[in-house]
Chain A
Amino acid sequence: MREWVGLALRLVVGGVWIVAGAIKLPDPAQSVAAVRAYQILPSDLVTPVGQLLPILEVVIGLLLVLGLLTRAAAVASAVLFVVFIAGIASVWARGINIDCGCFGGGGANPDAASQYPWEIARDAALLAASLFLAWLPQSRLALDNVLFRRTPVIEGP
């Protein structure tokens, strides 16, 4: 049962990452602008981070959906969600109204303040799912099961 829960969480979290990353892949300029709008990173870092994030998201999503290196992918996923929650909380606290750029877009958005709570809640739920997978990475229909099958240790005499 627990392994089926793991499968479901892998598909949900991984699916969200793939969609979020794939939407941003074709337009790195927009992704860079979205990162810049948070006004957190120094300008030298904004460009590489903005360019790398979409591809990183897709890779993490694929690993989760395939169930490949599930624990490592889940840890990376959890770390990213913590960073995103911190970023959104930071702009919210500073009174900067921007589109979070989570699924493309980005930049100024007058209605942002009303969306921050829901965005943080969504990311927190996905963070919880990622932590669950990092804790119990065993799940059904995972490549890990095929690639890393272990010979069971015979116990007792």
Chain B
Amino acid sequence: MSKKNRPNDRAARAAAALEAKQREERRRRNLMVGGVVIGIVVVLFAGWLIARNLDTTKDVTADAASSSSEFGVTIGPDSAPNKVVIYEDFLCPFCGQLEKATRDDLSQLAADGKVQVEYRPFDLLGGGDPTSYSVRSAGAFSIVLDKSSAAVTKKFHDLLFENQPSESGPFPESSELADLAVEAGATESDVRGPIEGDQGNAWVVKATKAATDAGVQSTPTVLLNGAVFQDGRTVEDLANNLIKQLQ
């Protein structure tokens, strides 16, 4: 009887020892996985905190909208309770969409004295190339701003967006920009020569430097009372939410 059991005992002991070893291994394995997972979570969280600090999206400190601004055209009175600044590039497609979605409402709100909006074009997409559409269009804007009334300049600004070329071209000649300026109501003898001679380039360099110094990195950048306004999933959402804030 007892002799018969002995091999079984030995097998049972061996099995028990193996199971204990495997249990110990599972425990060690679970601890290890847990430790690595905790490590990963810590790294992700720390990385996120650092990224938040490095994120300069909202670090735009620009001059408030003002009818006496050097680099923009303004609608609405200086006394309006809300001030909006829109940094834009005449070539940027999202700027064109934002224009389309906000123009009528912003014009109405400005006329009602509820908001003052300053449009500040600069060269984002041209990268400083004086022959680029971004530079030429902003330069033409500056010439009209200099020679004509704010209303004419705003009209020219609107026409530039209505006739916005595709980012991949073909781009209008500067003489066509002069045509639009005249259509907006600028005096032809005042503006055609300077626009066709691309004489606004120096202004564009200064306007672009002012925008970059203010922290603007993309277009359109909308500031509502000094703070970057980005509330919206799409450009249309953004436009609707902005108008809601101003009513």
A10 CB within 8 Å of chain B: no
- Check if A55 sits within 8 Å of B56, measured CB to CB: no
A26 CB within 8 Å of chain B: yes
A156 CB within 8 Å of chain B: no
Contact with A along B201-240 (1 / 0, CB 8 A): 0000000000000000110000000000011111101100
The distance in angstroms between the C-alpha atoms of A42 and B218, with both chains bound, is 19
A68 CB within 8 Å of chain B: yes
- Check if A110 sits within 8 Å of B168, measured CB to CB: yes
- Check if A107 sits within 8 Å of B218, measured CB to CB: yes
A147 CB within 8 Å of chain B: yes
Least CB distance, A62 to chain B, in whole angstroms: 9
Least CB distance, A59 to chain B, in whole angstroms: 6
- Check if A29 sits within 8 Å of B217, measured CB to CB: yes
The distance in angstroms between the C-alpha atoms of A97 and B55, with both chains bound, is 24
The distance in angstroms between the C-alpha atoms of A56 and B51, with both chains bound, is 12
- Check if A108 sits within 8 Å of B94, measured CB to CB: yes
A2 CB within 8 Å of chain B: no
B43 CB within 8 Å of chain A: yes
The verdict on A28 contacting B52 (CB below 8 Å), with A108-B93, A151-B21 known, is: yes
Q: Which residues of chain A come closer than 8 Å to B235, judged between CB atoms?
A: 39
- Check if A150 sits within 8 Å of B25, measured CB to CB: yes
Main secondary structure, interface of B, reads helix
B80 CB within 8 Å of chain A: no
Determine the residue in chain B with the shortest Cβ distance to A53.
B51
Tally of A interface residues using CB under 8 Å: 41
The verdict on A43 contacting B232 (CB below 8 Å), with A55-B44, A55-B48, A108-B94 known, is: yes
Most buried by A among B232, B233, B237: B233
- Check if A47 sits within 8 Å of B233, measured CB to CB: no
Q: Which of B47, B230, B232, B233 contacts A40 (CB 8 A)?
A: B233
Q: Known pairs A29-B55, A108-B93. 15 more at Cβ < 8 A?
A: A28-B52, A33-B217, A43-B230, A43-B232, A46-B230, A52-B44, A55-B48, A59-B47, A68-B36, A109-B167, A110-B166, A150-B25, A151-B21, A151-B25, A153-B22
19 A-B pairs (CB sep. < 8 Å): A29-B217, A33-B57, A33-B218, A39-B233, A40-B233, A43-B237, A46-B230, A48-B48, A50-B55, A51-B55, A55-B43, A55-B48, A58-B47, A59-B47, A69-B33, A97-B167, A108-B167, A111-B168, A147-B32
Closest 3 CB pairs of A and B: A55-B47, A110-B167, A110-B168
